[in-house]
Amino acid sequence: MSVLRTRFAPSPTGLLHVGNAFSAIICQQWAEQQQAELYLRIEDIDHTRCKPHFSDQLLEDLQWLGLQWHGEVQYQSMRSALYDAALQQLYENKLIYPCFCTRKSILQDIERIGLAPHADEHNTPYPGTCRELAPDYARVRMQQQSFAWRLHIHHASMQVDAALSWLDEHGMATPVNLHQMQDIVIGRKDIAYSYHLAVVVDDADQGITHVIRGEDLRSSTPVHRLLQALLQLPSPIYIHHKLLHDPSGQRLAKRNQSTTLQSLRQSGIEPEYLRQHLREQARQSHALWHGDFGT
Ligand code: GLU
């Protein structure tokens, strides 16, 4: 029988909080139940936000929590050769193009052509300004100006099966709606590779069979499935667990300092107590899959 593998993949952009611990506990419990291997990957590709002292603290906090992972910890910041090769493959297949737009110029273009601006600033529609620049002109500008690599969704949709979908733990297929996708950024000058590119390369390289992560990342899964198809990588099964909320119904987030593992440790909470509490939360909210999340 082949080995099942999952991973916990935090980003060291701040101190680990209870919401992260919840995710880690869910990954660990799933791995125990399935006799699967659990890997730990530090997603520190964004050097503008990730800090080494947060990585060190994160390891300490996870050890305190009792997370047991398989093999060496993997750091994305040490794996750029793999991401470079993937970027090169997309470039050679005409699936990415350089984009010289700034946030400001995109907003101006949107206003000029009368596109409705998006309420979510991270989801601003891209008006396609640099999509069809003449290759020679683009090459000259690349020498002079900073740029981002964008995925050419139209070219991409011609290279993949129109019925592309991703699978969940029940074997249910969710279609990837290519018509709703933007020309997303895959690399930038300051952060050479996007989270989307790095994560699909790493999941394939580590032989991850099941990706277990929070509901908040569900909207990234179609993008990941598309990149897997374009890079001819295997696609794992995706399990999106519910997120932990505080008693007032607010989602626990990094900005809420009172729920960091560090502050819980300092207040004298025992890791066993926290583990049990999080398992109970997961069971009560059916965080993972209906009814069968035993303690
Ligand atoms: N690094 C991501 C985060 O901390 C998780 C990525 C993933 O599980 O795919 O939100």
pLDDT single digits (tens) 36-72: 999 999 999 999 999 999 999 999 999 999 999 999 9
pLDDT at site 151 = 97
pLDDT at site 112 = 85
Q: Is the pLDDT of residue 295 over 90?
A: no
E-strand stretches of the chain: 5-8, 37-42, 74-75, 96-99, 148-151, 165-167, 173-175, 185-187, 210-214, 237-241
| Residue with CA closest to ligand 1 atom 6 | 9
pLDDT at site 256 = 61
The count of other CB atoms within 10 Å of the CB of residue 28 is 22
**How sure is the predictor about 294, in pLDDT bands with cuts at 50, 70 and 90?**
very low
Q: Please report whether residue 123 resides in a domain.
A: yes
- How distant, in Å, are the alpha carbons of 6, 22, 34, 61 from that of 70? 10, 19, 14, 17
The pTM for the full model equals: 0.92
Pair 13, 49: CB distance under 8 Å = yes
Q: How many domains does the chain have?
A: 2
Mark whether 244 and 173 lie in a shared domain: no
Q: Please report whether residue 193 resides in a domain.
A: no
Centroid of ligand 1 to alpha carbon of 188 (angstroms): 19
Mark whether 32 and 93 lie in a shared domain: no
- Asked which of 188, 210, 239 is the last residue of a domain, the reply is 188
Q: Is the pLDDT of residue 190 over 90?
A: no
Q: Please report whether residue 152 resides in a domain.
A: yes
**How sure is the predictor about 103, in pLDDT bands with cuts at 50, 70 and 90?**
confident
Residue, of 193 and 259, whose pLDDT is higher = 193
Show the ligand 1 pocket: residues with CB < 6 angstroms: 9-11, 43, 199, 213, 217
Centroid of ligand 1 to alpha carbon of 58 (angstroms): 14
Question: CA 22 to CA 285: how far, in whole Å?
Answer: 12
Closest ligand 1 atom to the C-alpha of 8? 8
Centroid of ligand 1 to alpha carbon of 133 (angstroms): 34
Mean pLDDT of 29-41: 96
Centroid of ligand 1 to alpha carbon of 282 (angstroms): 19
Mark whether 45 and 93 lie in a shared domain: no
pLDDT at site 293 = 39
| Residue with CA closest to ligand 1 atom 7 | 9
Pair 164, 175: CB distance under 8 Å = yes
Residue 262 domain boundaries:
5-78+200-285
